[in-house]
Amino acid sequence: MKYRCGRCGGIIDSKDLEILPGIRCSYCGYRVLYKVRSPTIKRVKAI
């Protein structure tokens, strides 16, 4: 699973997050991260 930093825009893997204590961008240390949408196609029923 990948996350995008809210400040520098860097893409961080969830495994990288486990290296540092707390949830922080491994490039700039910013604490706001956004989940990146999976590149796979998502199938949804229109109900």
CB of 43 to another protein, least distance (A): 5
Does residue 46 belong to the site contacting another protein (CB under 8 A)?
Answer: yes
Cα 30–33–29 angle (5° rounding)?
20
Main-chain phi, psi angles of 31, to 5 degrees? -100, 5
Does residue 15 belong to the site contacting another protein (CB under 8 A)?
Answer: no
Does residue 4 belong to the site contacting another protein (CB under 8 A)?
Answer: no
Q: In this chain, which stretch among 3-11, 16-24, 25-33, 37-45 interacts with another protein, using CB under 8 A?
A: 37-45
